[in-house]
A and B are shown apart, each in its own frame.
Chain A
Amino acid sequence: MTISAEREREVAYPDPTPPSVGWFQGLPARPGWLSQHLGTAIIGAVLGYLLGHWLGNVVASGYTNVANSGVNAIANTGGIALGALGWLAGIGAINYPLAKIIGKEPAPEFETTSWSRYFRYTADHKVVGMQYVIGVLTFLFTAGLLAMAIRTELLSPSSHVFGPGTYISIVSEHGTMMMMMATSVVVGPLGNWLIPLMIGARRTAFPRVEAFSFWIFSAGYLTILTALPYGGFPTGWTGYAPLQTQAGGGMISYLAGFALIGLGMMAAGFNLGVTIINYRAPGMTWSRVPIFVWAILSTCALLTLATPTLVAAGLFGILDHTAQTAFFVTEHGGSSYLWQNLFWFFGHPEVYIMALPGFGIVAEILPVFTRKPLFAYKVAAAGMLGVALLSFFVWQHHLFQSGINPDMRPLFMLTTELISIPTGFIFLVGMGTLYKAKIRFEVPMLFALAVFFNFLIGGVTGVFLSDVPVNVTVHGSFFVLSHFHYTIMGGLIFAFFGGLYFWLPKMTGKTMNKKLGQIHFWFMFIFFNFTFFPMFLIGLLGQPRRVFEYAQNLQTLNDISSISAFILGASFLVFIANFVWSIFIKPTPSPANPWDSLGLEWQTANPVPYYNFERIPVVLNDPYHYSEHDAAAVADMGDPVLVGAVAPTGDGGGDTTGDDPVTPAE
C-alpha cells in the first residue's frame, strides 16, 4: 500500500477499501473473515508455540541437566520465539517483507472502515493508537490485580496468604508487566494517535513499523503471562543474575518477553521520531510544534538508543539458559555485575521514557485549562532534550552499594543531581503557566495538577536517593519503591489518565461522564497518596523490598497502605465503568472541541478521516495563543476560514465551538 506524503492540496484521498487480491498479488481475494485478524494471529501463535516447544524437546530433553532439573529452557525459548513469530505471521505483519524478499509484489494490507479494523494489522495510525489504548489498559489492569495480591500478602507481617515463591513471582510479574506497559503507555496510544495530527501529517513515516510495534507489544504481554504456568520467576523486574541464571523456566518468559517489548519500543520510537522530524506540515517549525511533540521526540530518542541494550542483555540471559554460556556467572568467566550494568544502562533512560511523555501531556493540558500560553516553552523543550541526554550518564546510581567503581560515586551522584535541573523545568513551566491564569477544573486539569503534587514528592525523594550516604539506608528498601511509584504512577500514569480524559473525546467522538471522572480522580489521588506515602516511612524503618515477612512494628503502616491500595484499585473500576459505558455501551457524542483547544489535532474533521487532513494545513502559529484577544490564526486548513485563537471570553469556557471542527472558535 502506498500513501503519498505529498502535500498537494487538490488530491482527494478516499477511504480505503478492502483489497481485491490475497496476501500476494495474483492470489484470489478473500472475504473479510478469511483475511488476517486477531483470530488468525491467535491460531498462528498457538501453532508456533507448540511447534517451537516440540522442537526444543526434540533437541534438548536428553541432556542430564534438563532431565535432572525438569526445565528445558530451549523448549521454552523455542515455544516463545515461534509463538511470537506465529502471532506476527497470523496478523499479517510479515506478508510485506516476505513478499519483497521472495520477489513478489505484496498485496495491500486489508484496510477497512468497519469495526473489524481494530482487530487487524493496519496502516492507520489512529487505529493503532486505539489498539494501544485497549492494550495498555489491559496490561495496566492485569498488573494492577497483581498489586492487589501483593498488598494482600503484606497485610500481615508473618502469616502468609501466598507461598514465598508465589509471592516473589507475583511481585516480579507485577513489576515487569508495569514497566513493560509503562514504556509504551503514552507513546503507544497517544503518541501514535496524536502526533501526525499535531504536526499536520497524513500518516506516520513507517505505518507498517508502527503496526508491528503494537503487535509485538501485545506478544510481549502474552509472553510475560506465560511465566505463571512456568512457575514464575524469582528476580523481580530487575532480573539480576546469577539468580536469573539459577531460576527455572519462567525466567525465559521474562527475558524473551522483555526483549519482544524492547523490539516494539525500538520500532515505535523509530517510527515516531522519524515522523516528527520529516513529516511536519509547512510552517510547523520547531518553535511551533506542540510541547507534547517535543516530549515524544526526546522519548523516541531514548527508545531507539537505550533499548538495544536491553534486547542484547535479554539475549545474553537466554543464551546462559539455553546454550550454557556464562555471561553472568563469575565462576565460569562472566560477571554478576555485567547484567546490572547492562540492565541499568537501559534502565535509567527507561525511567525517563516513563517521565517525559507525562510532562508532555501536562504541559499540553495546562494552557487549555488556564487559557494562557505555555510558560517558558523553549526552556521546556530544551529541558526534555537535556534530560534525554543526561539520562545516559546516571545509571550507576543504582549500584552505589554494589562494590563497583567506588571512585565514580561522586560523579554519578553529581550527574544524578544535575538531571534534576532539566527535570525541574516542568515545575517552572507549570507554575509560570498558572500565574494569573483563568483556571478551569475539568477532569484532565485535575489529573495534570495531581502530577505536580505527586511528581514533586517523587523528585525530591529522588534527590535523597542520589545522596550516597542517605542511599546507604534507603537503597533496596520500600523508600525506593515508594519513590518510583510516585514518579511513575504519580507522574506518568496520572498524566496518562489526564490525557485520556482530555483526548478521548477527539479520538472516539464520545464524551466521558464528568461526575464519574471526578470520582475516579479524587479516589485515585487521595488513595494513591495514602498507599504510597506510608511506604517511605516503612522503608526508612527498615523494610527491604520484595520480602514476604517484615517487622511486627511495621504492621500498622503496612495495613494503612494495603487498605488504601484496595480503594485505589477500586477507583479504576470507576474509570472502567465510565469508559465502557460512555464510549461503547451508551455512547454520548462529544462536541468537536469540548475544551476549546487551539491544538491542530482538534481542528480536523470529526471523525478524523482516514488521511487526517483534507488538505495539508499550513501552520501559521504555535497553538498557545490563548490569552491574546487578537491572536493570529494557528493554521491555514485550506478552507476559506482560518482557525483563530480563542479569545478569553467572560466565563472562560465550557461552551463548545459546535460540530463543525473548522469553524473558527471566535
Chain B
Amino acid sequence: MSFGARLTTFLVMLAAAVALVVYVVITYLTPQSGVVDFTSAQPAGAPVNLSVQTVGSIGFGPHPTWVTYMVQNPGGQWLHDTTWEVPAHTRINLTIHQFDSGSPLRNQNWGRVQGVAGNVEILNGKPISFYDSNSGNGVGHTFAVPALGINVPLVGVNSNASNICSQAPCGSDSVSNTIKVSFVTPGPGEYSWQCFVPCGLGYLYGNGGPMSNSNYMGGFLDVVA
C-alpha cells in the first residue's frame, strides 16, 4: 500500500471508531428520562401542584411489563418522565393516583407517613399516619425521598377488581386510590426519590428491574433556585 492509501485507511478507521463511540454514547449512555418543568407554571412562591400516578404495567416502550410512575405536566399531559423540576423553598401539593394493587412491605417501617406536613397523608379523603400493609389491600408503592425524610405509603387497590389499569396513562375508568400530601422543598439540589415496596416483578427481593431503573420506580426531584 502506498503512503496515501495507508493514511486514508487509517483516517477511515478513525472516523468509524469515533462514529461508533458517538453512537454508543447517544444510544446507551445518555439519560433517557426527560425533565418536566414545574417552576414556571405559577407565580414565584406560589404552591406547586404536582400530580403523578403509578401504573402496574406501563404497557409501552422497551419494558411493557414494568411498573412505573407517570407525571402530569403543567399542560395536563401524562408523561413517562421521572425528573421533576420544582422551585426551592416552595410548598408542593402532591397528588398521587395509585392504580396498582398492593402487597405487604418488606419493612413495615415504610407503612409510616414521614417527612410531610403533619406526617399524615389524605387517603381518599381520610387522613392516616400509618398503614398496616399486612391488612386490606396492602401497600402498592411508597413515594420516598430519603434525603428529605419523606415516605408516603400508597395503599394498593383491590387486586381482584375487574378494572385494574395495565396501560399507562390510566384514567378514571380504572380503579384507583388518591393520596394527597404536602411538603416544602429545601434549597437547590437533585434529590432522588424511590419506592420501598418490592414491586419489581420477577427479580430477587423484588428490587430489580423497574426498582433499579431511574425511569420507572425512581427519579429525581430537581430543586432549583
Q: Which residues of A contact B (CB under 8 A)?
A: 64-71, 145, 149, 158-166, 170, 228-229, 231-232, 234, 242, 245-248, 329, 549, 580, 584-586
Contact = CB atoms under 8 A, between A and B. Distances in A.
Interface stretch (B71-79, B136-144, B174-182, B207-215): B207-215
Given A65-B202, A162-B30, A228-B28, A70 B7 contact: no
Interface of B: 3, 6-7, 10, 21, 24-25, 28-33, 63-66, 189-190, 192, 200-205, 207-209, 212-215, 220
B202 A242 contact: no
A163 B31 contact: yes
A68 B201 contact: yes
Contacts of B205: 242, 246
Contacts of A228: 24, 28-29
Contact of A585 (B6, B31, B66): B6
27 contacts: A67-B65, A69-B65, A69-B201, A69-B202, A69-B208, A69-B209, A70-B202, A70-B209, A71-B209, A149-B25, A158-B190, A161-B31, A162-B30, A162-B31, A163-B33, A164-B214, A165-B213, A166-B28, A166-B29, A228-B24, A228-B28, A247-B208, A248-B208, A585-B3, A585-B6, A585-B10, A586-B3
Nearest to B31: A163
A332 to B, nearest CB: 10
Contacts of B64: 70
Given A70-B63, A145-B21, A585-B10, A246 B28 contact: no
Contact of B202 (A67, A584, A585): A67
B223 to A, nearest CB: 10
Contact of A158 (B25, B189, B209): B189
Contacts, number: 84
A232 B213 CA distance: 11
A586 B190 CA distance: 52
Contacts of A145: 21
A165 B200 CA distance: 15
Contacts of B65: 67-70
Contacts of A242: 204-205
Given A68-B65, A158-B190, A163-B215, A585 B7 contact: yes
A164 B10 contact: no
Contacts of A166: 28-31
Quick one: which of A158, A229, A246 has the most chain B CB within 10 A? A246
B204 A245 contact: yes
A234 B212 contact: yes
A71 B207 CA distance: 14
Contacts of B203: 69, 246, 248
A246 B24 contact: no
A89 to B, nearest CB: 26
A71 B202 contact: yes
B214 A69 contact: no
Given A69-B201, A70-B65, A160-B31, A584 B208 contact: no
Nearest to A141: B17
The 10 closest A-B pairs by CB, nearest first: A69-B202, A68-B202, A68-B201, A65-B202, A246-B204, A163-B31, A246-B208, A228-B28, A245-B204, A70-B63
